[in-house]
């Protein structure tokens, strides 16, 4: 991890900026286009949906970002089942309109391999275009890896296919791929802590908050 890159916990006042960063990086991706086909509406819809989950992570997980806000990571502590965001379905429909069904379809598909044991859910990872190839993403994931090993908790994520190589560098291993209906392929991945040898069973129950990622380091 690049020690010159400052990483800090996000504050409540950062939530909109973090959501906008994630929406900006997701906007040009195949997953972003699948979730919101209308390019003119995509950034707004993604920001409004993502901010719901950023806020939720501040209560049931954590949000970390680089000091210059060029990269952010959002995760949930799933020691036990957690509730959905308050008024989630109402907020989702208000944000996404007719595209709300695509977000719920994504959640249903990723539920097929969601772990049942306590784990850390790496839900969102984003690096701005200006922060790509600068080491920000790597620094953030290095910080993430250290934290996971300290608490000896497995981690789970679902990423676009192009992010697979980056996550592999930080100890994540691929599970069977998922393909969205008429859409891109996604890569469920897990990581055991450095000294752990546990396996992670799967559950077909609907997940709470499995989300979307950008992958550039």
Domain positions in the chain are: 7-203
Q: What are the tokens at 155?
A: 């981690």
Average pLDDT value for residue range 97-102? 94
- Please choose, from the candidates 32, 189, 216, 174, the residue with its C-alpha nearest in 3D space to the C-alpha of residue 106: 32
Assess whether pLDDT exceeds 80 at residue 30. Answer: yes
Q: What are the tokens at 50?
A: 């993502």
Tokens 């008429």 belong to residue: 182
Largest pairwise CA distance in the chain: 47
Q: Which CATH number fits domain 7-203: 1.20.1250.20, 1.10.10.10, 2.40.50.140, 3.40.630.30?
A: 3.40.630.30
3-class secondary-structure state, position 162: helix
For position 4, what pLDDT does the model report?
80
| Per-residue confidence band for 89, with pLDDT thresholds at 50, 70 and 90 | very high
Number of helices (H), then strands (E), belonging to the chain: the values are 7, 10
Assess whether pLDDT exceeds 80 at residue 17. Answer: yes
Average pLDDT value for residue range 188-197? 76
| Per-residue confidence band for 35, with pLDDT thresholds at 50, 70 and 90 | very high
For position 137, what pLDDT does the model report?
83
Assess whether pLDDT exceeds 70 at residue 132. Answer: yes
This prediction has a pTM of 0.84
Q: What are the tokens at 188?
A: 């469920």
47 or 164, higher pLDDT: 47
3-class secondary-structure state, position 133: coil
**How confident is the model over 47-87, as pLDDT tens digits?**
999 999 999 999 999 999 998 899 999 999 999 889 999 99
């Amino acid at each position: 991890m690049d020690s010159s890159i400052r990483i800090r916990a996000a504050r409540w006042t950062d939530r909109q900026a973090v959501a906008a960063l994630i929406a900006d990086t997701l906007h040009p991706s195949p997953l972003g286009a699948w979730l919101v086909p209308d390019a003119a509406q995509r950034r707004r819809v993604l920001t409004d949906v993502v901010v719901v989950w950023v806020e939720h992570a501040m209560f049931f997980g954590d949000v970390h970002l680089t000091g210059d806000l060029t990269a952010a990571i959002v995760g949930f502590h799933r020691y036990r089942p957690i509730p959905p965001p308050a008024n989630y379905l109402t907020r989702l429909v208000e944000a996404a309109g007719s595209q709300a069904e695509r977000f719920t379809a994504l959640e249903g598909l990723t539920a097929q391999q969601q772990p049942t044991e306590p784990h850390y859910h790496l839900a969102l990872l984003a690096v701005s275009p200006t922060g790509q190839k600068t080491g920000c993403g790597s620094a953030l994931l290095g910080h993430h890896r250290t934290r996971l090993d300290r608490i000896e908790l497995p981690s789970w994520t679902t990423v676009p296919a192009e992010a697979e190589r980056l996550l592999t560098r930080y100890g994540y291993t691929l599970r069977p791929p998922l393909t969205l209906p008429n859409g891109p392929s996604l890569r469920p991945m897990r990581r055991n802590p450095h000294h752990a040898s546990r396996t992670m069973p799967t559950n077909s129950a609907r997940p709470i908050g499995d989300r979307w990622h950008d992958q550039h380091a």
